[in-house]
Amino acid sequence: DAGVIQSPRHEVTEMGQEVTLRCKPISGHNSLFWYRQTMMRGLELLIYFNNNVPIDDSGMPEDRFSAKMPNASFSTLKIQPSEPRDSAVYFCASSLKVQYSYNEQFFGPGTRLTVL
Amino acid sequence: DAKTTQPTSMDCAEGRAANLPCNHSTISGNEYVYWYRQIHSQGPQYIIHGLKNNETNEMASLIITEDRKSSTLILPHATLRDTAVYYCIVDRGGSNYKLTFGKGTLLTVNP
């Protein structure tokens, strides 16, 4: 299995530009998570999807951030407009949610975003 | 309000056992202890989890005290590739998607 795939691995953009991060979860997994990691705040959950439906987006910082999951094999995290404080590593993770059992999350390699 | 307390950093000699402590004195009866680790420039990786019994898998062992207020992750024979930040997370089972990562322990395995 290829694991969770994220693209791009690195993104450098200028303030005000739109940024789209992409994620392909592990085939067969039904839960998908977007996290953000910075030195100051550590690793934070932004949003969680189950069966392509957003379940909890309470971690999304503000309206500039949006996430979609049009099908079971693809998700995007969009930032529009981007700001320097959005610079971070963004991780996507997936898991197979089965009731009454723990389902480990498998993380992708991350996208390092730099907003100038 | 942090649910867990871990040392900021630890060192271990290659080939020796690494024992990583975690305090979770406010743990509730339905909450599990999870361990993940993050090797530099990679995404976090699941290691092990437990409720009240000791657990062992191919990566590590988890020892939970009888009162469940603390636990220890044991890497029996640490290698250089085990150098990473280790996160101890306490959360309930079932819909356990809310992994709240603290600052973790940076374990450095020395040759």
| C-beta of residue B1 within 8 angstroms of C-beta of residue B101 | no
| Site from A105, A106, A111, A112 to mutate, B interface, most B CB atoms within 10 angstroms | A105
Q: Which residues on A lie below 8 Å from B93 (Cβ)?
A: 100, 102
Report yes or no: B100 at the A interface, CB cutoff 8 Å. Answer: yes
Q: Which residues on B lie below 8 Å from A97 (Cβ)?
A: 95, 97
- Please give the Cα distance from A30 to A46 (Å, whole number): 17
Indicate the pLDDT class of residue A2, thresholds 50, 70 and 90: confident
| C-beta of residue A95 within 8 angstroms of C-beta of residue A31 | yes
Give the pLDDT of residue A98: 76
Whether residue B65 has pLDDT greater than 80: yes
Q: Which residues on B lie below 8 Å from A100 (Cβ)?
A: 93-94
pLDDT, average across residues A74-83: 97
Q: Which residues on A lie below 8 Å from B34 (Cβ)?
A: 102
B43, B97, B103 ranked by CB distance to A107: nearest = B43
| C-beta of residue B68 within 8 angstroms of C-beta of residue B74 | no
Report yes or no: B54 at the A interface, CB cutoff 8 Å. Answer: no
Q: Which of left, alpha, beta for A86 (phi over 0: left; psi -120 to 50: alpha)?
A: alpha
**pLDDT tens digits for B24-46?**
999 988 889 999 999 998 999 99
Whether residue B66 has pLDDT greater than 90: yes
Q: Do A107 and B94 touch (CB under 8 A)?
A: no
Cβ partners under 8 Å of residue A58, min gap 6: none
What count of CB pairs under 8 Å joins A to B?
52
Strand, coil or helix: A4:
coil
Q: Helix H segments across chain B?
A: none
| C-beta of residue A106 within 8 angstroms of C-beta of residue A86 | no
Give the pLDDT of residue A102: 74
User: What tokens appear for B39 in the block?
Assistant: 């090797």
Give the pLDDT of residue B44: 96
**pLDDT tens digits for A6-52?**
999 999 999 999 999 999 999 999 999 999 999 999 999 999 999 99
Whether residue B84 has pLDDT greater than 90: yes
Longest dimension (CA), chain B: 41
Whether residue B96 has pLDDT greater than 70: no
pLDDT, average across residues B81-103: 84
Q: Compute φ and ψ for B81, nearest 5 degrees.
A: -70, -10
| C-beta of residue B86 within 8 angstroms of C-beta of residue B93 | no
Whether residue B108 has pLDDT greater than 80: yes
Q: Which of left, alpha, beta for A60 (phi over 0: left; psi -120 to 50: alpha)?
A: beta
